[in-house]
Each structure stands twice: as structure tokens, then as C-alpha cells.
Chain A
Amino acid sequence: MRVMIPSALRSYTGAGEVAAEGATLGAVLADLDRQFPGLRFRVIDEQDRIRRHIRFFIDGEQSFDLGQALGPDAEIYIVQALSGGDSSV
């Protein structure tokens, strides 16, 4: 399936779109980490929580569940989403 990569992660992938395999969102992230070591920890913390300023969209719908099942042709967008006016800007 196709995974769209935000600019903040292209130092890992070298591309804005990559292919990955997996039956769930979590499995796709594991495959991405095999292909691009280190990528997963930048978006998922050590308690398997999605990091605060990262969003996942599957076929246009936001997902908060790494266990969400994926269709064989699912399209995943990883989005960097910093809150407007955040003091860390």
C-alpha cells in the first residue's frame, strides 16, 4: 500500500511517498521502521502512543488506533500537525 510521508520524515525515506506492507496500521509502521530505521520512534512513543503532533489518516479518515485493520489498497497519510500558536513554534 501507499504511505504518504510528511517533510519532517523525508530524511528517513528520501521520498514523499513509499510502499509498505501490513494488515494493521501498527504493522505498516513496523514495516516502515524495518525499511527506514528510527522512523517509528519519531512518531510513536515507547508506550505505543501516537506522538502529540503526529496524525494518521487512512483512506481520508483520521485513525488513533494502531490496531486498525487495513484493506489491501489502503492509502495512509502521515501528517505533521503542530498546533497553531503553540509556544514551541
Chain B
Amino acid sequence: MSSVTLLIATRKGAWLLESDAARRTWRVDGPHFLGHELNHLVLDPRDGKTIIAAGKTGHLGPTLFRSEDRGRSWKEASRPPAFPKAADGEAGRTVDHTFWLTPGHADDPGVWYAGTSPQGLFRSEDGGDSWEPVSGFNDRPGARKAAGGSQDGTPDGPKLHSIIVDPRDRNHIYLGMSGGGVHESTDGGKSWRPLIQGLEVVEGLDPANIAFHDPHCIRLCPSNPDRLYQQNHCGIYRIDRPSETWTRIGKAMPPEVGDIGFPIAVHPHDADRAWVFPMDGTSVWPRTCPGGTPSVYSTRDAGASWKRHSAGFPDRQVWWTVKRQAMTSDRMDRVGLYFGTTSGELWASADEGESWNCIASHLPEIYAVEAATA
């Protein structure tokens, strides 16, 4: 492992940052697609050179751009994700934006998955050039009920996110609907079932109604694919398959901080380790650093206990936060962590979260951060 590339998707374009293994200095490449709202920018780990970017602009509809040379040149997808044309007299759905991109299984080169807003699952078999709806998910019985109404999603539209392909089994797929719960398929997306046991919902609502479930970010541990962590609207959870029940490990967080937030990152080599970035989810949901003090919290024991990390951060009057796709880890032996803020700052830690440096500032609002290790 000799280099790390960060792929930064923002409200007004994309940037790539590259560093050697020391991760002390970063070479900045960008902006790409200046003025486009970029929700996700993902490098294909199977070939190390294909990047797909999900974008739209204030005026124009959503599309995807592809690069086969790590961002030196781009070409638009010939058939971006789109719902089927509705029959006469029926209300058809329209993709507002593609929110999430996931490369398929290592043995399926060219396969990609995309999650959209409003919520739809799409699949490509040609490296992201053309996309088809996954009918087994989009048209399954109860699909509209799970998605809920217009008030059940996030402020800029409900998201289908955290599409995860089991590294041991190309047919085993997880995804999250915000709102609408966690879902699992074991037949390559033909059929799906909810995986929400143990998850809490907003007080007073019925947890049996899947529309009330709001997973924010789900991560599978590469070193133990039976373990997943989840940052939910109502706490931090872990599940160890084949168990069907999530455990609220966020109960061990300091009560004054709580366990609300959007992102969660996992350790690539140690499934007992994960990091979160807590957010103020009290009263009117300010969605800021609790108390105006940014902190990353980590666990080394699968969520039994949490430790605060703030070295390098300002210690007061900080009111940004970190979105669900904007925190990640690299795969170096001594793991690097990265997050981007709603205020356009990019923070990095080369010592597994112990200390932090701001490596870019004055960017547009950061929507997503991915780290590719080569």
C-alpha cells in the first residue's frame, strides 16, 4: 500500500486529493464538474481506474459521469438511472438524484449498484454506462409503504443508501432506506426482507411500521463480513449475523453527547473498531457539533465502550457537522480516517483517529468522502 486517493463530492463539484503512504501532504486535483451537485464519487477497487460520479445541477436533471483514467477524462453515462415510464393514467416516479454508488462483487467486473432519491435501486452491468431498475426491490409488495410519505424522508428527499455486497457472496446484498429501514436480499436482489429487529424509532411511533425506521449509514466490516455497524436516527447499533437483532451499542456513549449522528466508519482490519461523529439531535435537531465542540468517538470493543478524540480540532464555537457519506477510513496498516464537513473543510487523521489535521478548507459543502488505497 503506497498511496491514498480521496474522492470528495460536494454541493458544487468534485475534488481528488492524493498522498503517499505517510499521508502528510496532499496533491489537489479539481474542481471537476464545477457547479454540479455531486452526491457520490466512487473509484472501482476492481480495476483501480474507473470512477463514477453522481451529479445534477440547479437546472438540469440527474446524470452519471464515468472516467476510465482516474478522473483525467470523463464521459456521461448513456443511460443514467431512471424509473420506468408509467402507463397512461398512472403516476410515474422520477429520479431527482442518484445518491449512492456501490461497485458490485469482486467477481462481477462491470457490475455497479446505485441508490436514488426518491428511493430506487438500480443496477449496471457495463461499468456504469447503462442502468436498469432492480424491479425485485423497487416493485416489491409494500415498497411504497416502506418509503412512507413525503415527510418521512430527509429534507432534500428520501435516500436509498448503504448498498453493501457481501464480499463472500455476490447474491447477498444489504441496503438502507432513510426512511424505510434496513433490507436484505440473498438472491441477488430478486427478493428482499426487512432487517430491523432491535432498532428503535422516534418515541411514540410504532417500530412495527417500517416507514418509521431511519438508518443513516450502515457499514460491513471487511475483516468480518458477519458484523455490521449502523448509525441510525435513533442510536448506534451493531449486528453479528446470523443474528436477526441489532444491539444499541450507542447506549455506552456519554449521555451528554448521545448517540445521534449520520456517518459511521469501520476499521478495515479489526472488526471490533469503529468511529462515529456525534451530532446534536436534541430539541429541534440543530444537526451541529454537540455544544459547539467537534469530537470523534471510537470503540475498540465492538461498542461496549467509547473514547473521545479531539486533538487538532478547535475547542469551541464550531457548528458544522458531517453527513452520512462524508466519513471514511483507508486500508493502510495504520488506518487513516477522513471526514468532510458541511462547511467545506476536509479533516484527516493518519493515526487511527487519535489526532486530526485540516487538509483542505473553503470547499463547498461536502456531501461524500471516499478513500481509495493503492
Contact = CB atoms under 8 A, between A and B. Distances in A.
Interface of A: 6, 8-9, 37-38, 41-49, 51, 53-54, 80-82, 86, 88-89
A88 B58 contact: yes
Contacts of A51: 59-61
B245 interface: no
B310 interface: no
Given A37-B78, A38-B76, A47-B92, A53 B63 contact: no
Contacts, number: 57
B257 interface: no
A49 B94 contact: yes
Contacts of B57: 8
Contacts of A9: 60
Interface of B: 37, 57-61, 63, 76-78, 80, 82-86, 92-95
Given A41-B80, A41-B82, A46-B95, A82 B59 contact: yes
Nearest to A82: B58
A43 B61 contact: yes
Dominant SS at the B interface? loop
Given A38-B76, A41-B82, A88-B58, 12 more contacts: A8-B59, A38-B77, A42-B61, A45-B61, A46-B83, A46-B95, A47-B83, A47-B93, A47-B94, A51-B61, A88-B37, A89-B58
Contacts of A54: 59-60
Contacts of B92: 46-47
A47 B85 contact: yes
Contacts of A41: 61, 63, 80, 82
